[in-house]
Structures are given as C-alpha cells and as structure tokens.
Amino acid sequence: MDRLRRSLLSLALASVILGPAAAADQASITVASTTSTEQSGLFRYLLPKFTERTGIAVKVVALGTGQALDVGRRGDADVVFVHDKAAEETFLAEGAGVKRHDVMYNDFVIIGPKADPAGAAGQDVTRALRKIAEAKAPFVSRGDRSGTHAAELRYWKDAGIDLGAVRGEWYRDVGQGMGPALNTASASNAYLLSDRGTWLSFKNRGDLAVLVQGDKRLFNQYGVMLVNPAKHPQVKVKEGQAFIDWLISPEGQRDIVGYRIEGEQLFFPNAVPGKS
C-alpha cells in the first residue's frame, strides 16, 4: 500500500460518527468533505441535528477537496461536500457524481502578522500577493489540492506571479489541512490564505490578524453531490440523497445560519432546491 493510500486509510479510520452512537443496524452514510467544514466546527454542530431528524448517522472523511473528490471517484463515499466549483464540475463531467447543489458560502481572507511587514493589507488580493512576493515575506501554503489551495494558486496567477520562478525559502508548502497550516503560520509569523470559518474557530492566533478581505474574488462557494451509483452500486442512494435534501431544505439552511462563534456567523446558506 503506497504512502497516499496509507494516509487516506488513516484519515478514514480516524473519522468519527457524529451524532448519537450508531447501533449495528443504524442507517449511515460516509461523506467525503473538506477540512474547513470539520475544523471550523460546523459538522460537530450540524450533523447531530441531521441524525436526530432522520436516524441516519454520518461518518466524515475530512480531506482537501481534491482528495475528497478522489474518495468519491473510488466509490469510498456516498456524498461529497466540497468547495472548488471547477473541480466539482469536472467530477460531474466524468460521471463520478449525479448532480451538484449549492449549499452555502463564506469567503477567503489573507491572514498575516499584525505589523504587516509586506504592506499587504487592504481589499485587493492580487496586490497583496504581489507585495508579499516582492518582500519575500514568509508565506504558508496548504499545498494539499484543497479548494483553498486551488484558490490560492488561482490568485497568484491572477496577480501575474509565476510561483515556479519566484518561490524560495519564504514560501512554505506544508501539504496539510487548514488548521495545521494556521498553526504553522502562527508559529512562524507568516502570511497565508484561509477560509474565514476556520480562522474564526482558530484559537492559536499568536500575532496574526485578518489583513485582506472584501475582494469579490475571495468568494468561497460550497457544493454537495451524490456519488454516482451507476458507477458504484454500493452507494447508499436513499440515505445520501436524504442528507443532500436536508442540507438544501429550509430546515438545514436555517441550521447552517445557527452556527456561530462569539455571535459571528461562519457560513451563509444559498441553496436553491432544484438548481445546481
């Protein structure tokens, strides 16, 4: 078994059933999702409500979006819940998923030292990245094929910066989820791109603060899809669709609104039932 498969297996085994303890015959599904939905605390709040409502237990495999979609491609999950629309559309085009639904959104922010040695603060994400690259200020990248990593690479490209040509010791690629990347940035007083939800739930902030926000390009949409049972007959269609239907229902959308940290809302529902 290669290193990646060992890592994914370890993550899957570390995943927990959220909600009431599952009896041996209790209906259950596996959801491959992003680290931000888990590390922000959203799932700990949201999934017990679904289980209480339906009796269906949910096991979460939390990975970067690219890896979560790969879990779906192999048929090792019933549902994928991720945040990289281009990658999600590719997943659908390949026939790996049945239909995509918008669920909610938040935004990305650039976090950095309060002193802001690169002068990155403001609303313009591309200007900020140019300033960071010019200053060769420490920058932490997730580097894990996640939706956040894909967005970061897109912003560097939009800024006109060829990372392959300019990256050096100042650019640290950690290959981990949002929480560990934030911990690394905190320890090294570095800049990084984060989803706002994980940042708001993050406690080990050190000298870091939000420096760049408000750019419309920082919009961060989440979508959910059923894994295609025509390719993977083991997919639990009824239970997986029940989870999707609940997420995009008025009840599920209200519960997403209800998840707050210190009174601040982390995710904003925008599902339109029947529309992808």
Domain ranges of the chain: 3-105+221-269, 108-218
Q: Looking at this protein, which amino acid is placed at residue 43?
A: F
What pLDDT does 14 receive?
Answer: 43
Residue 169 and residue 82 in contact, taking contact as beta carbons nearer than 8 Å: no
Smallest CA-to-CA distance from 81 within 223, 248, 196, 197 is with 223
Q: Specify the 3-state DSSP secondary structure of 94.
A: coil
> Which letter does DSSP use for residue 122 in this model?
B
User: What kind of architecture, by CATH, is found in domain 108-218?
Assistant: 3-Layer(aba) Sandwich (3.40)
What pLDDT does 34 receive?
Answer: 93
What pLDDT does 8 receive?
Answer: 46
Asked whether this chain's domains 3-105+221-269 and 108-218 adopt the same fold, the reply is yes
What pLDDT does 246 receive?
Answer: 97
What pLDDT does 7 receive?
Answer: 47
CATH T-level topology, domain 3-105+221-269: D-Maltodextrin-Binding Protein; domain 2 (3.40.190)
CA angle at 261 for the pair 259 and 262, rounded to the nearest 5°: 130
**pLDDT < 70 stretches in the chain:** 1-25, 273-276
Smallest CA-to-CA distance from 22 within 61, 59, 77, 60 is with 59
pTM for this structure?
A: 0.86
CA angle at 274 for the pair 246 and 78, rounded to the nearest 5°: 50
What pLDDT does 259 receive?
Answer: 96
Q: Which two tokens stand for residue 134?
A: 């010019």
Question: Torsions phi, psi of 275, nearest 5?
Answer: -120, 135
- In sign, the C-alpha dihedral spanning 137, 64, 269, 102 is positive
